[in-house]
Amino acid sequence: MVGSKQPTAVFLSPEETESHCRAGAGVWKFASTNEGMNPDVIIAGIGTELTFEVVKAAELLRELQPKLRVRVVNVTDLMVLGTEGTHPHALSSDDFDAMFTKDKPIHFNYHGYAAELKGLLFGRPQIERITIESYKEEGSTTTPFDMMLLNNVSRYDVAEAALKGAAKHKEEVRVDLSKNLSEIRGKAKEIRKFILKYGKDPDDTYDLPKFANFDESRTKGQGAGGVNYEG
């Protein structure tokens, strides 16, 4: 069981959670465009808070680039990322390609040190298409979201990495890249100004994202690890 000091967003039902954790990783279709089919870019979250930022980045990317096909992946077992044969849980080459594609850019948002992921992923083909942002030990007494910004793992950083990756092979993203990046950085700057002025995160920072195919009702009343906070 995973616990948290604060109520935490719940995206999966108990049955979906059990299946997902047994697999060690999976595509979150509700947060992906077209259920993750034929993606232009993959954004992957590892860790509770950083996965939330990935999901919020997916929401932001729909606003900025509606035609961009985004696949959202969540990893719960780091060992699945290791090269085939290095660990019993490691994904086969075919399964890795099925989840992350053979050639599309991948961005990992990781609650840990980047070197750990790089070591696991070493040996996977076309590793140069992978970017990683992770804990950098930046920030001290500040707000939770400001820590995300300082460590480059916020939804804005994930969205920026996704756009830069997709722009390498998708013309319409490349054309709008400068405008989109300016808009993203402007949003992040405004939030930072708010945090520095008021000493707290904006009230809507942790609102659940709005996806047409996400039925929030099936997880209502649940907190971290499926704990029910009602009553």
Give the range of the structural domain holding residue 43, as residue numbers without chain letter: 14-212
Whether 189 is covered by a domain: the verdict is yes
- Cα gap 190→28, rounded to integer Å: 30
Which domain CATH number covers 152?
A: 3.40.50.920
- Residue 181 covered by a domain: yes
Question: Helix H segments across the chain?
Answer: 14-23, 48-64, 93-100, 114-121, 144-150, 155-167, 171-198
Q: Is residue 3 part of a domain?
A: no
Q: Let me know if residue 152 belongs to a domain.
A: yes
Per-residue confidence (pLDDT) for residue 211, from 0 to 100: 83
Query: Is residue 71 predicted with pLDDT exceeding 80?
Result: yes
Does a structural domain hold residue 141? Answer: yes
Rounded Cα distance between 33 and 213, Å, is 10
Per-residue confidence (pLDDT) for residue 229, from 0 to 100: 23
pLDDT at 2: 59
Is residue 224 a part of any domain in this protein?
no
Q: What is the pLDDT, as a whole number, of residue 8?
A: 81
Residue 55 lies in a domain: yes
Query: What was the pLDDT predicted at 188?
Result: 97
Mapped onto helix, strand or coil, the DSSP state of residue 88 is: coil
Reply yes or no on whether the pLDDT at 6 is more than 80: no
137-160 residue pLDDT tens: 776 788 999 999 999 999 999 999
> How many domains, in total, are found in the chain?
1
Coil, strand, or helix at residue 166?
Answer: helix
Banded pLDDT at 113 (limits 50, 70, 90) = very high
Token pair listed for 180: 């989109």
pLDDT tens digits for range 87-109: 999 999 999 999 999 999 999 99
Domain for residue 223, yes or no? no
Instruction: Give the pLDDT confidence score for residue 215 in this predicted structure.
Output: 62
